């Protein structure tokens, strides 16, 4: 059997990684596909250093795994977020362990070079065999749970709430990037190690294939103050995801979040969307979970956010 080796990503690996992603999607019997253009946009997210911090697992002439590391810097530390997968035919064969060991060793070296603490973050799906055991094997600590919710068209569409007088919905443009970032940063200030969003990242997102003028909705009041937003996208035919619902704390409790949620559901249903998914932090201090459940969403999965702190001189297993 050919041994698996891990090396840094090269641009010519893109086709093989996209093939891996699509073969996994087909194995899971989903209709979601990833294009080369979409993967390149992911690698080139501004300010996140993903392309130069992506690794691939090779076996013979086949890419059987990849892991991308997203660097988000602050003055005190660097948050690193992990994205990747192993080909479905090569799971439960130690490839994930090999990738994680390589990642922690690499980040230990980077922490020493940068002379700054690195916090490695990894999401684990509870119902995917072996992931929790792998995280615990390498000493990753649990941060929080994320609940995955699903809404299907078999549920009756929620009634359209009345938006308070003086509030209006808009499709955001580049001019709204600063306001969009402001809403996000205020709404999620309670998150541990929250890095914050900046207008540059918002503009990049608005330019990406994820942006939809129908499913990105900004709410402002009559004074043109930014109040809240919701954003979503179609992932595959008749399936959509709500990525974020955010309302500034000083405006919460007035029905703005409910109006935004029901508005995007109405628009998705009008485009023949049959199923909508979203995720929510179990520690969310707002009434978001209650809102989703009252709007017909049901929990169907749970994920765990693990983290691992790497100080400049920390030894890695």
Give pTM, 2 decimals: 0.77
- Reported as a pLDDT band with limits 50, 70 and 90, residue 133 is confident
Distance from C-alpha of 88 to C-alpha of 22, rounded to nearest angstrom? 11
Mean predicted confidence (pLDDT) in 30-57: 90
* Average pLDDT score over residue span 203-219: 93
Question: Alpha helix (H) ranges present in 138-229?
Answer: 177-187, 199-207
- Give 37's contacts (C-beta < 8 A, 6+ positions apart): 209
Which of 159 and 65 is assigned the larger pLDDT? 65
Over residues 204-217, mean pLDDT = 92
* pLDDT bracket for residue 201 (50, 70, 90): confident
Which tokens belong to 272?
Answer: 């023949």
End-to-end Cα distance, the chain? 26
Instruction: Look at residues 263, 29, 235, 238 and name the one whose alpha carbon lies nearest to residue 160.
Output: 263
Between CA 150 and CA 1 the distance in angstroms is 41
- Amino acid 67: pLDDT: 97
More confidently predicted of 41 and 209: 41
Per-residue pLDDT band for 315 (boundaries 50, 70, 90) equals low
**Rounded CA separation 171/219 (Å):** 9
What is the percent of the chain where pLDDT is above 90?
A: 69
Which of 38-52, 129-143, 195-209 has the highest average model confidence (pLDDT)?
Answer: 38-52
List of residues 6+ apart from 139 with CB closer than 8 A: 308, 317
pLDDT digits (tens, 9 = 90+) for 64-83: 999 999 998 888 899 999 99
pLDDT score for 211: 94
pLDDT classification of 316: cutoffs 50, 70, 90: low
Mean pLDDT of 219-242: 94
Higher confidence at residue 235 or residue 128?
235
* Distance in angstroms (rounded) separating the CA atoms of residues 282 and 127: 17
**pLDDT value at position 190?**
81
For residue 13, pLDDT over 90 is answered with yes
Whole-number pLDDT of residue 126: 79
Model pLDDT, residue 31: 65
Q: 31-49 burial string, b = 16+ CB within 10 Å, else e?
A: eeebeeeebebbbebeebb
Residue 233 CA to chain centroid, in angstroms? 13
Q: Across residues 45-60, what is the average pLDDT?
A: 93
Average pLDDT of the residues of the chain: 90
Q: What is the DSSP string of 84-149?
A: EEE-GGGTTSSHHHHHHHHHHHHHHHHHHHHTSEEEEEEEEETTSTTHHHHHHHTT-EEEEEEEEE
Strand partners, 67: 55, 84
Q: Is the pLDDT of residue 229 over 80?
A: yes
Q: How confident is the model at residue 285 (pLDDT cuts 50, 70, 90)?
A: confident
Residue 132 pLDDT exceeds 90: no
The whole-angstrom separation of Cα 119 and Cα 72 is 10
**What domains are defined for the chain?**
4-145+304-310 (3.40.630.30), 156-295 (3.40.630.30)
């Amino acid at each position: 059997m050919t041994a698996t080796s891990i090396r840094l990503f090269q641009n010519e690996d893109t086709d093989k990684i996209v093939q891996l992603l699509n073969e996994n999607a087909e194995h899971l019997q989903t209709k979601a596909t990833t294009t080369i253009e979409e993967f390149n946009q992911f690698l080139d997210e501004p300010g996140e250093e993903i392309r130069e911090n992506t690794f691939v697992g090779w076996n013979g002439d086949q890419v059987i795994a990849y892991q991308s590391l997203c660097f988000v810097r602050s003055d005190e530390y660097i948050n690193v977020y992990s994205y990747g997968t192993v080909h479905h035919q090569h799971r439960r064969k130690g490839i994930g362990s090999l990738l994680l060991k390589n990642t922690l060793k690499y980040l230990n070296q980077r922490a020493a070079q940068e002379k700054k603490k690195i916090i490695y973050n990894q999401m684990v799906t509870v119902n995917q065999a072996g992931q929790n055991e792998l995280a615990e094997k390498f000493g990753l600590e649990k941060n929080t749970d994320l609940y995955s919710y699903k809404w299907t068209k078999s549920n009756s569409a929620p009634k359209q709430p009345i938006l308070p007088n003086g509030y209006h919905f808009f499709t955001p443009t580049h001019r709204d990037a600063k306001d969009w970032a402001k809403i996000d940063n205020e709404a999620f200030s309670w998150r541990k190690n929250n890095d914050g969003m900046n207008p540059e990242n918002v503009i990049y997102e608005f330019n990406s294939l994820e942006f939809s003028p129908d499913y990105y909705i900004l709410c402002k009041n009559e004074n043109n103050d930014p109040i809240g937003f919701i954003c979503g996208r179609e992932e595959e035919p008749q399936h959509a995801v709500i990525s974020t619902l955010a309302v500034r704390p000083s405006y919460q409790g007035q029905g703005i979040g409910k109006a935004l949620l029901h508005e995007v559901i109405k628009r998705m249903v009008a485009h023949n969307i049959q199923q909508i998914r979203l995720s929510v932090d179990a520690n969310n201090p707002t009434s978001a979970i209650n809102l989703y459940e009252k709007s017909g969403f049901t929990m169907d999965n749970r994920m765990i956010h693990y983290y691992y702190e790497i100080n400049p001189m920390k030894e890695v297993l």
